[in-house]
Structure 1
Amino acid sequence: MTGTVPTSSPRARAEIDLGALRGNVRALRAGLSPGAELMAVVKSDAYGHGMVPCARAALDAGARWLGTATPQEALALRAAGITAPILCWLWTPGDPWRAGVEAGLDMSVSGMWALREVTGAARAAGRTARVQLKADTGLGRNGCQPADWPELVAAARAAEAEGTVRVTGLWSHLARADEPGHPSVDAQLDVFHEMVAYAEKAGIEPEVRHIANSPATLTLPESHFDLVRTGIAVFGISPGPELGTSRELGLRPVMTLAASVALVKRVPEGHGVSYGHRYRTAADTTLGLIPLGYADGVPRHASGRGPVLVGGAVRRVAGRVAMDQFVVDLGTGPEADAVHEGAPAVLFGPGDHGEPTAADWAEAADTIAYEIVTRIGARVPRVYVNADADADRETAGGDAYVDGDTDRDAYGHGHGDLGEDGRGDAR
């Protein structure tokens, strides 16, 4: 998380619409199978959106659980005063297992070594650890293989009898749920049913069974079980183009990335632009300098292709993205003449004003939209809008604060102030 920054003429900002996030959580919950609850996954600083504000907003909207990858993330949520159930799944030997036990985290166990670590931590803490056994049903990453499942289940039951652990969940993860109809999905569900049945026959009585990620939550009601784990969908981004756009899925992107134009200048025909001169101007033209680069998370792979809304039109990155900046060719004519230093340049947002989306940048960089939002760096301040859960609105533009600072911010309302052509107050 970044600290509060001066409120005059910000270089760049990532506007985070907490009202949109709450709306996404409500929409996802509305589509769940009866009895299923929703976990909001807030790993990796909530996919770059800011973990603590987003976690609180998701819980306000009815999320029952939170999910993180690392124990440090989960413990930071507890330190922020969040008491909701938290599942943390990416543990390594020597991690803060005892702190996890004492914080009441649900700790994922995929093998005997992890069960030994958590039982030792529980004895040291003098309290029962909450653990969830993860099954590898076909993804081939974390999780216990079916052949090793009987040993892990038996050891977990013995630990329960000893009082060192309580098995609160049985879970797995899908490999290709973003490919509707792929046969691996049904195959994994079959294996999960078998492994859950085995554990329950052995005496495990889990509070929750879960396998559904964002794409499965949206398309496979038979995968919902007791709980779904929604990550990217909470932040309004489609899990994949084959499932549809965010709008088609009833989701609203939460992040808008914008900057203030740092320089506008005329250059002659044939002028090279940025490193390597991979771009040369085709005629006398106007260039605009955008003060964001790959150090901020703008993908260098999008050089020459990344779209930006500036001066009422979508332009492409001209030449290579540098560490701190890139250039757009504004052309000539009234639209170019209207662009001035301090004018807004919107890299991506919900698309309401014709601005590109994170999906557009993903296509330009030959990656996925998950990466586009998650990679936005710490020197880009997060500006939170629509923080008040009692005043949800359909569009952005509410009161803003920076990085959890509840003082009103003088340059908030960034995306909400844009006009129909994307222009507006560049504060």
Structure 2
Amino acid sequence: MSTFPARAVVDLDAIAGNVRHLATLAPASQVMAVVKADAYGHGLVPSALAAQAGGATWLGVAQLAEALTLRASGVTGRILTWIYSPGAPLESALAAGLDLSVGAPWALTEVVAAARASGRTARVHLKVDTGLARGGMFLEDWSEVLADALRAQADGVIEVVGVWSHLASAEDVTSPITQAQLDVFVEAIARAEAGGAHLEVRHLANSAATLVNPAMHFDLVRPGLAVFGLSPVPGRTPADLGLTPAMRLEAEIMLVKRAAAGQGVSYGHTYTTTEDTLLADVPLGYADGIPRHASGTGPFDVGGRRVRIAGRVCMDQVVLDLGPDATARAGDVAVLFGPGTDGEPTAQDWAEAAGTISYEIVTRLGSRVPRVHVGTAGRPVAELARERAW
């Protein structure tokens, strides 16, 4: 049993339900649940299994290390990984049956070398930069690497099974940037197919495109944030989009005390009480991922009352001004965020308080905060692994 006085309660049934809902929005496509960054802070392996329980036939992680962790934990099915550096253990990746993104000429060279050394055919997704100017290659350079990849495919060393890209403004279906990216992506697919690629999947749609832009769905959609029930579409809530937030972050109040009017609170006394009041000390701070930018603004729910951080966020704790009539005691639960269905703040509320996005609020949650996984989709990993044979 954890002795840490706070917890992130993760509803695995909500994750599974979100995946099922996303699948209904793209009925002609497979679903890749993106569980990168420790499943957006929700816990990598349990979240991956919950996503599969909801119907995800693929999993996606950015870092190769996370893909290897999934396999080592008994997670089966197709897994794509796309961030690795020169010299990465690609033979281990191939031994684990991972699909690998190739987004640079050196990456193709190293994947081919690993395939030859291991005697295993590498499954490759060629990443084209359609306009984000981040990962992948712009179309003409991509076409040159495509030609090299198809020669390696003819030798039986690799199979080009996917073409993919990332969108810059997926939530804006009318954006000329989005349309331009779609045009480049379609051209890349045409070039790959004309050259003889063994394409199984063409994938462009992230969470936002999965939800609002069917033209981007192709064979496979690649939602991430939406899997965890948060909205990627500005101005639309999770409920608007049929999603259920999966995480509830809460902490036990460790101290309450009366303070007189005029008392400065926390470092620098940037907050001063305006009346005699009750202060509460909550054991979460910026070491746990609470944004320091939310000093004075971060919302909490204590006993059904909405309050905000009084003064600065400290490394390990924050102080709340509960008001003169509050009756809270040590051991009572303070809720930072949850689905919002009981009036508690949401991750989006925290994002607005800190001037950021909900993605950052959940993914920055520190590793010392226990993740408590609940729900029938969250059966022990070993139990699920025994039922499957990869």
Same fold by TM (over 0.5)? yes
Q: How does 1:376-387 map to 2 (within 5 A)?
A: 376-386=365-375
Alignment correspondent of 1:305: 297
Q: How does 1:62-73 map to 2 (within 5 A)?
A: 62-73=55-66
Q: What secondary structure, in the 3-state scheme, does the structure 2 residue paired with 1:318 have?
A: coil
Pairwise CA distance, 1:288: 0.7
Asked whether 1:317 is paired with 2:314, we answer no
Asked whether 1:233 is paired with 2:226, we answer yes
Q: Residue 74 of structure 2 contacts residue 382 of structure 2 at CA under 8 Å; is this kept in 1?
A: no
One-letter amino acid of the counterpart of residue 253, structure 2: V
Q: 1:125 to 1:214 in 2, by over 3 A?
A: same
Asked whether 1:287 is paired with 2:284, we answer no
Asked whether 1:348 is paired with 2:337, we answer yes
One-letter amino acid of the counterpart of residue 5, structure 2: R
Q: Residue 178 of structure 1 contacts residue 240 of structure 1 at CA under 8 Å; is this kept in 2?
A: yes
Pairwise CA distance, 1:317: 0.5
**Pick aligned residue for 1:370 from 359, 365, 377:** 359
Alignment correspondent of 1:32: 26
Q: Residue 33 of structure 1 contacts residue 221 of structure 1 at CA under 8 Å; is this kept in 2?
A: no
Asked whether 1:77 is paired with 2:65, we answer no
Q: How does 1:11-410 map to 2 (within 5 A)?
A: 11-34=5-28, 36-242=29-235, 244-333=236-325, 336-337=326-327, 339-386=328-375, 388-389=376-377
Q: What secondary structure, in the 3-state scheme, does the structure 1 residue paired with 2:83 have?
A: coil
Pairwise CA distance, 1:147: 1.7
Pairwise CA distance, 1:203: 1.2
Deviations 1:324-353 (A, max 9, x none): 0001101112xx02x100001000000111
**Greater mean alpha carbon deviation, residues 194-203 or residues 178-187:** 178-187
Q: Residue 35 of structure 2 contacts residue 61 of structure 2 at CA under 8 Å; is this kept in 1?
A: yes
One-letter amino acid of the counterpart of residue 43, structure 1: K
Pairwise CA distance, 1:404: 6.6
Q: What secondary structure, in the 3-state scheme, does the structure 1 residue paired with 2:10 have?
A: strand
Counterpart-to-counterpart distance in 2, 1:201 and 1:369: 41
Q: Residue 384 of structure 1 contacts residue 404 of structure 1 at CA under 8 Å; is this kept in 2?
A: no
Counterpart-to-counterpart distance in 1, 2:76 and 2:266: 50
One-letter amino acid of the counterpart of residue 356, structure 1: P
One-letter amino acid of the counterpart of residue 14, structure 1: A
Q: Residue 335 of structure 2 contacts residue 344 of structure 2 at CA under 8 Å; is this kept in 1?
A: yes
Pairwise CA distance, 1:179: 3.0
Alignment correspondent of 2:388: none
Q: What secondary structure, in the 3-state scheme, does the structure 2 residue paired with 1:95 have?
A: coil
Pairwise CA distance, 1:33: 4.1
Alignment correspondent of 2:2: 5
Counterpart-to-counterpart distance in 2, 1:17 and 1:356: 17
Counterpart-to-counterpart distance in 1, 2:286 and 2:224: 24
Q: How many residues were matched structurally? A: 383
Counterpart-to-counterpart distance in 2, 1:107 and 1:379: 31
Pairwise CA distance, 1:82: 1.3
Return the TM-score normalized by structure 1.
Answer: 0.88
Pairwise CA distance, 1:310: 0.5
Please, which runs of 5 or more residues in structure 2 have no aligned partner?
384-390
Pairwise CA distance, 1:405: 9.7
Q: What secondary structure, in the 3-state scheme, does the structure 2 residue paired with 1:253 have?
A: coil
Deviations 1:109-153 (A, max 9, x none): 012110000000011101111111000000100111112122111
One-letter amino acid of the counterpart of residue 318, structure 1: A
Superposition RMSD on alpha carbons, in Å?
1.4
Deviations 1:11-38 (A, max 9, x none): 000000001111101110011142x000
Q: Which runs of 4+ in 1 moved over 3 A?
A: 403-406
Counterpart-to-counterpart distance in 1, 2:118 and 2:356: 44
Counterpart-to-counterpart distance in 1, 2:152 and 2:106: 13
Counterpart-to-counterpart distance in 1, 2:149 and 2:218: 22
Q: Residue 17 of structure 1 contacts residue 255 of structure 1 at CA under 8 Å; is this kept in 2?
A: yes
One-letter amino acid of the counterpart of residue 160, structure 2: V
Deviations 1:371-425 (A, max 9, x none): 0000111111011111x24xxxxxxxxxx99x9799xxxxxxxxxxxxxxxxxxx
Q: 1:405 to 1:226 in 2, by over 3 A?
A: closer
